[in-house]
């Protein structure tokens, strides 16, 4: 890495955790391809939308973290195969094979059929919250909603959701626990190990007693059709479980804060609920839950914006910076729910484009729609600058807590 690399500690400050968009604007304008050095791993951050789209479809930028070079070691550390060697960390043709096995289950028509059940889950959660008069909305709503939906799709018994969430939340909130970095790493490893054992046991239980759910369908694809291995069965389940609730939970939290801090836009949406689908896209563009796409590896020396990126480098495409690129969005830092729908990359771009996009959109539309309809007096329970957020360097952008009153 060059001497001009920006130390991660200078980028990921407390101000950045509260509002990363001024720093993204500086990077986009001054160093659109920026080498960043960090004790964990060095990387090159790409912040302009055109470059971001080019990078996400560039065959020289690989997602094969477990192939030659064993790049996963720098990113996830050892013993990560049991959960993370899945389609997200693979290139075609392996990626194509793994994605094809589950893609039918997430096809728009199949997801649409879940609409009544998602609405029922949303109403059940709100029925419990409403008599209280206030709520910690991440815990009471934003996190359990997508967990219950993906849990039901996969076939994870509802009685297990709480402990599954205990483990996934250790992974999600890593760095914010007040533990030392070493203790924090150990806690994440422990949570991953428990989650792996839990999912491996669940697969065995379902093998003995198949049901009408996605894990049973994957077992069938493994045992009778030879389409995926036992390890891939568990890693695919983990990816669907984690990707299926984590980002949606953070998105519902971020979107709620964005609306509550932009009263004119909130009013507009309350008055014109037909804007909801477009509003969800704008809210995702405005403050998405996955600020940086998962890491890519340069398989050869490449150049972006005249910056030399040596072979073997880790490249991070900064989705939330690209989605505020003034070359593509007028007044990009303004939340404008009636904005002409632009080509944001909040769900990614290229072959790894979000598999769960239809489900995520539906959950967000039903969830946010019901919050506004059923809680007409909804407001923040603390000043916005006192909201507790995930740490600046977290791979996720979201809230630790979202106190609200209504």
Does residue 360 touch ligand HEM according to CB under 6 A?
yes
Contact range with ligand HEM by CB under 6 A, out of 30-38, 112-120, 268-276, 284-292: 284-292
List all residues 6 or more positions away from 271 whose beta carbon is below 8 Å from its beta carbon: none
List all residues 6 or more positions away from 260 whose beta carbon is below 8 Å from its beta carbon: 266, 378, 379, 380, 404
Does residue 397 touch ligand HEM according to CB under 6 A?
no
Give ∠ CA 373-374-376 in degrees, rounded to 5: 75
Does residue 288 touch ligand HEM according to CB under 6 A?
yes
Does residue 164 touch ligand HEM according to CB under 6 A?
no
| 3-state helix/strand/coil string of 78-114 | CCCHHHHCCHHHCCCCHHHHHHHHHHHHHCHHHHHCC
Does residue 141 touch ligand HEM according to CB under 6 A?
no
Does residue 35 touch ligand HEM according to CB under 6 A?
no
Give CA–CA dist 38/56, Å, rounded: 23
Residue 118 Cβ vs ligand HEM, minimum distance, rounded to whole Å: 11
| Torsion from C-alpha of 24, 28, 31, 36, nearest 10 degrees | 40
Q: Contacting ligand HEM (CB under 6 A), which of 47, 248, 256, 313?
A: 248
DSSP assignments along 356-376, one per residue: THHHHHHHHHHHHHHHHHH-T
Does residue 348 touch ligand HEM according to CB under 6 A?
yes
Q: DSSP 3-state assignment of 276?
A: helix
Give CA–CA dist 203/313, Å, rounded: 36
Does residue 352 touch ligand HEM according to CB under 6 A?
yes
Q: Contacting ligand HEM (CB under 6 A), which of 27, 142, 147, 293?
A: 293
Q: What is the DSSP letter of 333?
A: T
Does residue 316 touch ligand HEM according to CB under 6 A?
no
Residue 287 Cβ vs ligand HEM, minimum distance, rounded to whole Å: 11
The total of other beta-carbon atoms located within 10 Å of residue 49's CB is: 25
Helices of type H across 104-180 = 108-112, 115-129, 137, 144-154, 161-172
Give CA–CA dist 75/240, Å, rounded: 20
Does residue 323 touch ligand HEM according to CB under 6 A?
no
Contact range with ligand HEM by CB under 6 A, out of 183-191, 307-315, 356-364, 395-403: 356-364
Q: Cα–Cα distances in Å, from 36 out to 5, 22, 23, 43, 354?
A: 5, 17, 13, 5, 26
Q: Contacting ligand HEM (CB under 6 A), which of 62, 80, 173, 247?
A: 247
Residue 347 Cβ vs ligand HEM, minimum distance, rounded to whole Å: 5
Residues of span 110-129 touching ligand HEM by CB under 6 A: none
Q: Contacting ligand HEM (CB under 6 A), which of 88, 129, 259, 314?
A: 88
Does residue 289 touch ligand HEM according to CB under 6 A?
yes
Q: Contacting ligand HEM (CB under 6 A), which of 6, 278, 354, 380?
A: 354
Nearer to ligand HEM, 110 or 379 (CB): 110
Which residues of this protein are in contact with ligand HEM, per CB under 6 A?
87-88, 99, 150, 239-240, 243-244, 247-248, 251, 288-290, 293-294, 319, 346-348, 352, 354-356, 359-360
């Amino acid at each position: 890495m060059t001497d001009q690399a920006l130390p991660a500690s200078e980028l990921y400050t407390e101000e950045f955790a509260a509002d990363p968009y001024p720093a993204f604007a500086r990077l986009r304008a001054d160093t659109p391809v920026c080498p960043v050095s960090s004790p964990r791993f060095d990387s090159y951050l790409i912040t302009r939308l055109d470059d971001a789209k080019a990078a996400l479809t560039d065959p020289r930028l690989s997602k094969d973290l477990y192939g030659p070079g064993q790049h996963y070691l720098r990113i996830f550390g050892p013993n990560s195969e049991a959960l993370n060697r899945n389609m997200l960390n693979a290139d075609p043709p392996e990626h194509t094979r793994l994605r094809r096995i589950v893609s039918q289950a997430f096809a728009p028509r199949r997801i649409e059929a879940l609409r009544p059940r998602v609405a029922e889950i949303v109403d059940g959660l709100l029925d419990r919250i409403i008599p209280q008069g206030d709520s910690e909305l991440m815990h009471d709503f934003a996190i359990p909603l997508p967990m219950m939906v993906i849990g039901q799709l996969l076939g994870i018994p509802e009685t297990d959701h709480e402990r599954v969430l205990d483990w996934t939340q250790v992974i999600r909130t890593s760095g914010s626990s007040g533990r030392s970095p070493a203790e924090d790493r150990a806690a994440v490893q422990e949570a991953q190990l428990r989650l792996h054992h839990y999912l491996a046991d669940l697969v065995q239980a379902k093998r003995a007693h198949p049901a009408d759910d996605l894990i049973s369908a994957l077992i069938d694809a493994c045992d009778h059709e030879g389409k995926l291995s036992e390890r891939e069965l568990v890693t695919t389940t983990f990816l669907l479980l984690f990707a299926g609730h984590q980002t949606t939970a953070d998105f519902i939290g971020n979107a709620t804060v964005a609306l509550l801090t932009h009263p004119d836009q909130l009013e507009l949406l309350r008055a014109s609920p037909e804007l909801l689908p477009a509003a969800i896209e704008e809210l995702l563009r405005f403050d998405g839950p996955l600020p940086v796409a998962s890491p890519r590896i340069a398989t050869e020396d490449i150049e972006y914006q005249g910056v030399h990126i040596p072979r073997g480098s880790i490249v991070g495409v900064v989705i939330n910076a690209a989605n505020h690129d003034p070359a593509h969005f007028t007044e990009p830092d303004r939340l404008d729910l009636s904005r002409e729908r632009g080509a944001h990359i909040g769900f990614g771009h290229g072959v790894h484009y979000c598999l769960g996009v239809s489900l995520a959109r539906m959950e967000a539309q039903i969830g946010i729609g019901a919050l506004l309809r059923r809680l007409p007096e909804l407001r923040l329970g603390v000043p916005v600058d006192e909201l507790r957020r995930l740490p600046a360097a977290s791979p996720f952008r979201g809230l630790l807590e979202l106190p609200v009153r209504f």
